[in-house]
Structure 1
């Protein structure tokens, strides 16, 4: 006597896989839409007159589409100065941070010296301190040193917060490079300085780029210290310039949106241009520290 067992109708493994992929895709689309919607609205508002920004129902494009907000910003020397200050400060912070971080990371990665472990603890500890807790001490320090309302004051302050991360990441990146590279250079009669700049730095471009882009982003977008450590309009940066468009009785919403868009372009261009290096550098720096 043969007993036949009937299989329950169910969902095949391939169907489940396709459904999972579809759910993942829908989730990514929803997340991207949620993240991009404010940027799209900001871009739309920058081309509208103030009277139409809060109209209901809202419209992305209106008949009064205009570049007037951008024209007023780019033809106003005071507002252009905000961008110049941000470029000077962010550029200097990035270059100096990379230089110091490369030298320090090479020392931590390749040499043994007194207090090496305590110094590592100090670097990590500084990274863990909330920046706002240091606001008043740095204000007093900059005033005492005569660096208040100056480029060096802002640059040195920003470096305090960008250097720990840069040193940690570059040390991790150098640790992934074989020491045989250094030994081969020394066999040829060269020293550690040549090994660093002629061998290690050229093959560490992904790590250097990732640290540089991150550092530039931090310095470009910083608001609190830029507000506290400067007092004159000619020293203000872009984040402060956006805040200054908020008047006592009225807000220049379209100019605020236009300046926000213009202020986002440098970071966006950097990230898109160096995206390949940025992602690879972050992954390599986190492998071994």
Structure 2
């Protein structure tokens, strides 16, 4: 008995040590970024690295917020990400509900063609997307970002949501049909409320994807007033030297909306894990 207890205790200790080590590996770069954002440029590259800045300064944050239209770039990213996320989640949820609940010719074939978007690297689509955007007069505009961000996230969201909609018991749909509810009513009043966990997951992934996207925004945006935050942060890098304190300060400011979105929608995700669709 004592040997078994010792083995279990040793195994538990090893797991905790491994988890702590993994957490430190993941958290250390972020801590260093936070530390560097409070350092003057002269102290950024000191060795050994200082995780507690001495002296500490907030000049990097002041400079990030007051130079190069940072507020405008932040607003552009908010507008693009929020609209693209809302549009993608709405459209993909309707598509997923149709694939999960309706039977029509070619349903599985169409779904598999849609999933091709998950296996094609985004960078391979830059040129055809650029040509299409040019033909649709969407170059150098926030609308061009919104349209292609929405389209680029539909496949993953539809895949996630279809599986969740299929897990909702058919009896609930049939009960609403008996009461005279049509397909739209069942989707809006039954499927969406029960799909909060999947919708929260899709929203987090989509917002993060749109907020952090760099390549497409750099490709089609030429007017400075239309830049989004990831591209704008690149402007803080000089031709001869990079002001890392300024770059990290701007990056930390850019992380705030992502954290807010995650915290807001995580609550619904946790609720969905503990609440079932049917209670016996």
Identify whether the pair has TM-score above 0.5, normalized to the shorter chain.
Answer: yes
| TM-fit CA distance, 1:273 | 3.2
1:32-75 Cα shifts (integer Å, max 9, x gaps): 10101010000001011111000123212233211111112222
After superposition, residues 86-125 of structure 1 pair within 5 angstroms as 86-125=77-116
CA–CA distance in structure 2, aligned partners of residues 58 and 77 of structure 1: 29
Please give the TM-score of this superposition, normalised by the length of structure 2. 0.93
| TM-fit CA distance, 1:278 | 4.0
Distance 1:31-1:221 versus aligned 2 partners, 3 A rule: same
- Residue 211 in 1 paired to residue 202 in 2? yes
Q: Over the residues paired in the alignment, what is the CA RMSD in angstroms?
A: 2.0
Q: Which runs of 5+ in 1 are unaligned?
A: 1-9, 285-289
Larger radius of gyration: 1
Q: What residue number does 1:4 align with?
A: none
Please give the TM-score of this superposition, normalised by the length of structure 1. 0.90
- Residue 42 in 1 paired to residue 25 in 2? no
| TM-fit CA distance, 1:216 | 0.3
CA–CA distance in structure 1, aligned partners of residues 13 and 259 of structure 2: 29
| TM-fit CA distance, 1:173 | 0.5
Distance 1:280-1:171 versus aligned 2 partners, 3 A rule: farther
Given that residues 43 and 261 in structure 1 are in contact (C-alpha distance below 8 angstroms), is that contact kept between their aligned partners in structure 2? Answer: yes
Count, aligned residues: 275
1:232-265 Cα shifts (integer Å, max 9, x gaps): 2111111111111111122121110001111111
- Residue 234 in 1 paired to residue 221 in 2? no
Given that residues 73 and 80 in structure 1 are in contact (C-alpha distance below 8 angstroms), is that contact kept between their aligned partners in structure 2? Answer: no
- Residue 245 in 1 paired to residue 236 in 2? yes
Q: Which runs of 5+ in 2 are unaligned?
A: 276-280
1:158-200 Cα shifts (integer Å, max 9, x gaps): 1222100000111001000011111111111221111111122
SS in 2 for 1:66: coil
Given that residues 213 and 278 in structure 1 are in contact (C-alpha distance below 8 angstroms), is that contact kept between their aligned partners in structure 2? Answer: no
Distance 1:126-1:62 versus aligned 2 partners, 3 A rule: closer
Q: What residue number does 2:189 align with?
A: 198
CA–CA distance in structure 1, aligned partners of residues 68 and 262 of structure 2: 28
